[in-house]
Amino acid sequence: MTDASPLPTPRAPLLAQLAEDRRYDLAVVGGGATGLGVALDAAARGFSVVLLESHDFAKGTSSRATKLVHGGVRYLAQGNVALVREALHERATLLANAPHLAQPLPFVMPSYRLWEAPFYGIGLKLYDALAGRSGLGATEFLGRDATLTRVPGAQPAGLKGGVQYWDGQFDDARLALALARTAAARGALVVNYCAVKSLVHEGGKVVGVACEDRETGRVFTVRAGCVVNATGVWVDTLRQQDGADTGRPVRPLVAPSQGVHLVVDRSFLPGDHALLVPKTTDGRVLFAVPWLGKVILGTTDTPREDLALEPRPFEEEIAFILGESARYLRRAPTRGDVRSCWVGLRPLVKPQGDDGENTKAISREHTVLVSPSGLVTVTGGKWTTYRAMAEDVLQRCFDARLLAARPAGATVHLPLVGAPAAAQVRQRISDAPGLHSYGAEAAAVAALPGGETELAPGLSEAMVRFAVRHEYARTVEDVLARRSRLLFLDAALAQGLAPRVGALLQEEGIGDPGVAAFEALAQQYAHPQPSA
């Protein structure tokens, strides 16, 4: 269990630290899963670390996942055993280090054809075997009745039986915050709303970054022995600037692909089990996952050229999710049932050639590159393996002599901020959110003014104050999208709360909490207007 007295996060001292004339061992650009994981690992090994995020922590892809902590059953079908084994190991590590934010979840694959249960079941037995002692529970074959008992919301017509297996689920944005706060507790300076505008080069080498506080426009130059570009789908912007500054053409690394999720009420999937359809009518995968009192339906995988921060779904994606959900759920959700719709961009990595970068496509989904100027870029991978990715990144920094080597493993048994003892965790991630979501910090949250004043189910005034005082929140969106997840659960409800949350933020000393901007965003989540 971690220390339950939360560190304060007022902004002025963070910026004052940023203004100090010092050289960090490591500067990380990007505050999603990847960058935060690198910052935490480096801080835990005793390096001096600064992390700069242009918007809010997890504003990018890292708050838009399907929320699964998984080994990746489908990689097994591709024969990628090493990848699956590592992810299963990381799954167990994450569940142990943040039991309030990441927990086991049973999944049922319903079968409507006789061959499906034995076919998938054998693969899932192999999945269990690969997990070994990291396993969360044994795969079971289910008859028709048992399938419907566990997933009463499954379509009964034509159902033959099913297979139950175990994976994990998590609260992605709150996990990102826990990483940021744990890194800060280990001495890292982590700053949101501070965009890196350019790299600083000396003698053809990267020696730091220039960044801008988005609230005041103030510019800072931050010097570091090693700069890690962990900007997700946006990594090519810094890579290309690095190339231009050093007179070297750089080919794009990322081919983005978007994934859409729809959220509906829990009544569409009562019970505690997720539903997985491994092969929809057109060969895709469909999940229905109970999460924070609602159900997530998704996802899609659609190539997309532009890199909007708030991408819009394509009409075809919404139609696919609703159409296939209607096939596999007893009650077909319609557009009017959608409480929220969000879209995330996956940084798929293009094969790289000989453009001067030290290319190493590690035998996992992520890629780490070190440019001739020493800019370290990491992208791809998945949330589940963020910790192992961070270890790879630091190893590459050591190999390139950008940092003096220190032993790996510092984060294997490192509980994240708020982690309670596992035995104290009673509520599930699939349950509606509440004070329990704060783990060991619940009492500290409840003790703030407004602990008894509920703004919406599971969201109190005290939680809003805690978000500002201890969780780096600066806007209504930060509070309602990523500290609370209300935007993702019920966008119309979140929209209606914006003025009240804005007033609380102003009471907490924030000049412009961005009420109108949030209302417009929530409108899009509640009533998604598809891309042309």
Ligand X SMILES: Cc1cc2nc3c(=O)[nH]c(=O)nc-3n(C[C@H](O)[C@H](O)[C@H](O)COP(=O)(O)OP(=O)(O)OC[C@H]3O[C@@H](n4cnc5c(N)ncnc54)[C@H](O)[C@@H]3O)c2cc1C
* Contact residues for ligand X, defined by CB under 6 A: 29-35, 52-55, 59-62, 64-68, 70, 195-196, 230-232, 234, 259, 299, 344-346, 379, 381-384
Looking at the Cβ atoms of 29 and 403, the one nearer to ligand X is 29
Closest separation between CB of residue 34 and ligand X, Å? 3
CA dist., res. 344 & res. 346, Å (int): 7
Closest separation between CB of residue 399 and ligand X, Å? 21
Closest separation between CB of residue 453 and ligand X, Å? 31
Closest separation between CB of residue 481 and ligand X, Å? 12
CA dist., res. 120 & res. 140, Å (int): 11
Instruction: Name the residue among 418, 486, 428, 492 with its Cα closest to residue 454.
Output: 486
Looking at the Cβ atoms of 299 and 340, the one nearer to ligand X is 299
Looking at the Cβ atoms of 341 and 455, the one nearer to ligand X is 341
Only one residue has tokens 């009533």, namely 527
412 — alpha (psi -120 to 50), left (phi > 0) or beta? alpha
Q: Can you state the percent helix, strand and coil of the chain, rounding each to 5?
A: 40, 25, 35
User: Are 514 and 475 within 8 A, CB to CB?
Assistant: yes
Angle at CA of residue 380, ends 244 and 303, nearest 5°? 85
User: Are 352 and 361 within 8 A, CB to CB?
Assistant: yes
Looking at the Cβ atoms of 371 and 384, the one nearer to ligand X is 384
User: Are 183 and 40 within 8 A, CB to CB?
Assistant: yes
Instruction: Name the residue among 50, 131, 52 with its Cα closest to residue 91.
Output: 131
Closest separation between CB of residue 49 and ligand X, Å? 15
CA dist., res. 225 & res. 208, Å (int): 7
Residue 520 Cα distances to 178, 203, 281, 529, angstroms: 28, 46, 36, 12
CA dist., res. 167 & res. 104, Å (int): 6
Instruction: Name the residue among 60, 95, 94, 75 with its Cα closest to residue 388.
Output: 94
Instruction: Name the residue among 2, 28, 58, 3 with its Cα closest to residue 483.
Output: 58
Looking at the Cβ atoms of 45 and 382, the one nearer to ligand X is 382
CA dist., res. 211 & res. 195, Å (int): 5
User: Are 188 and 43 within 8 A, CB to CB?
Assistant: yes
Closest separation between CB of residue 57 and ligand X, Å? 7
Looking at the Cβ atoms of 348 and 448, the one nearer to ligand X is 348
Looking at the Cβ atoms of 167 and 519, the one nearer to ligand X is 167
* Maximum Cα–Cα distance across the chain: 70
Looking at the Cβ atoms of 166 and 383, the one nearer to ligand X is 383
Looking at the Cβ atoms of 53 and 392, the one nearer to ligand X is 53
Closest separation between CB of residue 445 and ligand X, Å? 25
Strand partners, 141: 163
Strand partners, 254: 349
Closest separation between CB of residue 518 and ligand X, Å? 17
Closest separation between CB of residue 58 and ligand X, Å? 6
Looking at the Cβ atoms of 32 and 278, the one nearer to ligand X is 32
Closest separation between CB of residue 496 and ligand X, Å? 27
Instruction: Name the residue among 52, 47, 42 with its Cα closest to residue 15.
Output: 52
Looking at the Cβ atoms of 196 and 419, the one nearer to ligand X is 196
What count of other Cβ atoms lies within 10 Å of the Cβ of residue 223?
16
Closest separation between CB of residue 35 and ligand X, Å? 5
- What SS3 state is found at 100? coil
